[in-house]
Each structure stands twice: as structure tokens, then as C-alpha cells.
Amino acid sequence: MNSSFEHISRAAIAVLARQAAIRLAKSELARQGLRVTSVPMRELHIRADQLLAAHPELLDQAAQRVAAHPEWLPKRRFARAVYITDSAKSGTEKTQVFPTTSTIFRGSHLLITF
């Protein structure tokens, strides 16, 4: 992934892998006959971190999920294009670019009247 949003895709992979590890930890607790609600979240997160370290395939699965859903990534914002006008190429003055307002220019100052 060679985009300016690569850090976001890495973060998405980490989040999805951690969520999968938490689900796996919860299912292991349920198989042991423990109520998931009786286990403190801190312990659940510690177990999830251990599972994530022991099962690196969770990161691979999360990477596949992110790759399959490009809509999860933010939309790239493009800057507006700046075009060179004919007047900018020729080095004309503002009085030549704006003929209707040529009377309000005096030298290098713009007169503003209300």
C-alpha cells in the first residue's frame, strides 16, 4: 500500500486484529464455562494481546479484510488545480485584465469607495 493513507490502513488492520483477538478470548472463556461479563475488561484485553502475539495470522486476516473494503479508508481530497491564465503568461497589469475596473486603479493602489 503506497498511499498517503497507509498509516490509516495499518491502524485499521491493528484494530480489526485486536477485535478478532478479543472475540477469540471471549469464546475461549465461554468454552471454559466462565461468564464473559464476570471477567474484567483488563484481563480480557491481556488475554487478547497474548492471543494476538501467539496467532499472527489474525493480522493477516485483518489485512485481507481491509484490502477487501477500500470504502473503510478515508476519501482522498485533491487540491484544486491552479491554471496559468493568458494574462499571467503575458505579464499584463490588472487594468488590462479587468477593463471594467480600470478606473478605480491609481498607480499601485486600489481605491475602495463605499
In a domain, 85, yes or no: no
Does position 1 have pLDDT exceeding 50, yes or no? no
All three cell numbers of 87, joined, read 494574462
pLDDT (tens digit per residue) in 79-104? 665 555 555 555 545 555 555 555 55
In a domain, 10, yes or no: yes
In a domain, 79, yes or no: no
Number of domains making up the chain: 1
In a domain, 97, yes or no: no
Mean pLDDT of the chain: 75
The whole-model pTM stands at: 0.57
Q: State the alpha helices, DSSP H only, in 32-105.
A: 41-54, 57-68, 86-90, 94-97
Question: Exposed, middle or buried by CB within 10 Å (0-12, 13-18, 19+), for 66?
Answer: buried
Domain ranges, residue 37:
6-72
CA 54, 58, 63, 66 torsion: positive or negative?
negative
Model pLDDT, residue 103: 53
